[in-house]
């Protein structure tokens, strides 16, 4: 296989990849790709690209204390709403929630804050459901852990 940029031969490797995302650098290890030693260009299989994207988003979320895909899914399911209903509540387009929950797309800080709010403040969830004309499929169970820096509730 040859490099589409310079024509040199590509070699298969799993060496650390240096990627930029939202103005930051990430070093991701263990992703299979074909690297050009002449110009630095690489080619990657679509399945490995999906994994690379997921891992970059995971690292970005960790650096910025954003909700993980599992936490987003937990908030949504605790509210008893579908992905489509959650999108309407949050004012985002379809299939945004699906992409957040699979790690394929990273939520913004504003969306993250809004999801934390509806997950922790029952009145906020109720207000957004009412405004979006969303009826939960089941009774909401608001039981999301407190955010960073919050002190745990004490038993009386």
DSSP 96-113: HHHHHHHTSSPPPHHHHH
Give this prediction's pTM. Answer: 0.73
Q: Which residue has the tokens 């296989």?
A: 1
Least confident stretch, 9-13, 22-26, 28-32, 122-126: 122-126
What phi, psi does 149 have (nearest 5°)? 85, -10
DSSP three-state, residue 73: helix
Domain annotation for the chain: domains and CATH numbers: 10-64 (3.10.20.860), 69-131 (1.10.260)
Mean pLDDT computed over 16-25:
95
The pLDDT, as a whole number, for residue 122 is 84
Residue 142 predicted with pLDDT over 60: no
Residue 156 predicted with pLDDT over 90: no
The pLDDT, as a whole number, for residue 143 is 52
Cα distance between residue 149 and residue 43, in whole Å: 42
Q: Where are the beta strands (DSSP E) in 24-116?
A: 24-28, 33-36, 42-43
């Amino acid at each position: 296989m040859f490099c589409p940029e310079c024509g040199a031969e590509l070699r298969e490797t799993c060496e650390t990849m240096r990627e930029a995302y939202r103005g930051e650098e990430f070093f991701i290890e263990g992703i299979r790709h074909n690297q050009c030693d002449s110009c630095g260009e690489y080619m990657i299989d679509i399945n490995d690209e999906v994994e690379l994207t997921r891992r970059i988003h995971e690292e970005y979320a960790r650096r910025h204390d954003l909700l993980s895909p599992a936490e987003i899914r937990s908030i949504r399911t605790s509210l008893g709403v579908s992905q489509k209903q959650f999108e309407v509540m949050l004012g985002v387009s379809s299939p945004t929630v699906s992409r957040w929950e699979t790690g394929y797309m990273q939520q913004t800080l504003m969306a993250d804050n809004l999801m934390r709010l509806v997950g922790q403040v029952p009145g906020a969830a109720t207000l957004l459901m009412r405004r979006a004309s969303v009826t939960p499929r089941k009774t909401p169970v608001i039981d999301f852990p407190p955010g960073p820096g919050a002190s745990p509730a004490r038993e009386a």
